Amino acid sequence: MSVIDVLQQRKSVRAYLDKEVPKNTIINILEAAKMSPSGVNMQPFDVCVVSGNKKTTLENKMLELFDKGKKEKMDYQYYPQEWIEPYKSRRKATGLLMYQTLGINKEDKIKQLQQWRKNYQAFGAPVVLYFFIDPILEKGSYLDYGMFLQSIMLTATELGLGCCPMASLAEYPSIVKNELNIAKEKILLCGIALGYEDTNAPINSYKTDRVALEEFTKFYD
């Protein structure tokens, strides 16, 4: 499979089979992804691979707070505090398409909330990768991290796995860090759900589109 094929095939998978991912497969993914570039070879990566009872314990603690309507403050600001165009429209269209795929009416807030709740279970994926970064590092290292995360997802796709990058898994940083024994000053960036796609699940037919090249590219001769 070519890199172009993998890029076109990759999508965010939101329903998984109850099938274990071999540890050696996860190791192979991370061994490949660690070759991603980083400024002056800093390699700012810090990964926790969570599965089994530890995953269940962690997600139950997050769900307990979520069900009470309680949220923690993320370690960093992921989304803009004020939405402007074109990002506002893209965000709205993405949400509407997902709920349409699931047959959830836009006025049905209860079912929308039930669907969002699945974020904290990593959509049933058997494995979650949590990613941390040292607070002393600057924006350049965040760029490096993005390339590392993309490498993980592309490698997983090539090996026949589904995955989903999830900022929502960084919404309860103290719970995650306490449970995984991570220093509280570390920044929890995100998680990636990893497993085998349930191809029969309607949600996995949901795939967002991309804007035309002309909308984000300028050529200068």
> 1 pLDDT exceeds 90?
no
| Under 8 Å between Cβ of 21 and 161 | yes
Question: Which residue in the block uniquely carries the two structure tokens 């923690």?
Answer: 72
**Cα-Cα-Cα-Cα dihedral of 159, 162, 167, 168, to 10°?**
-150
pLDDT above 90: percentage of residues in the chain: 97
What's the pLDDT score for residue 70?
A: 93
In the chain, % of residues over pLDDT 70 = 100
- Residue 106: the pLDDT is 82
Superfamily of domain 10-215: NADH Oxidase (3.40.109.10)
Predicted local distance difference test score (pLDDT) of residue 107: 87
Rounded alpha-carbon distances, angstroms, from residue 123 to 35, 171, 189 = 28, 16, 18
What average pLDDT does the segment 95-111 reach?
91
pLDDT at 21 over 90: yes
> Residue range 83-100: average pLDDT?
94
Residue 123 clears pLDDT 90, i.e. is over it: yes
Cα angle 94, 100, 104 (rounded to 5 degrees) comes to 115
- Tens digit of pLDDT for each residue in 4-16? 999 999 999 999 9
Element (H, E) at 46: strand 46-51
Give the CA angle between residues 105, 106, 110 to the nearest 5°: 75
Mean pLDDT of all residues in 104-115: 91
| Interval 145-167: pLDDT, tens | 999 999 999 999 999 999 999 99
Q: What is the mean pLDDT of the chain?
A: 96
Supply the DSSP symbol for 205.
G
Domain boundaries, the chain: 10-215
Phi, psi of 83, rounded to the nearest 5 degrees: -85, 130
pTM for the full model?
0.96
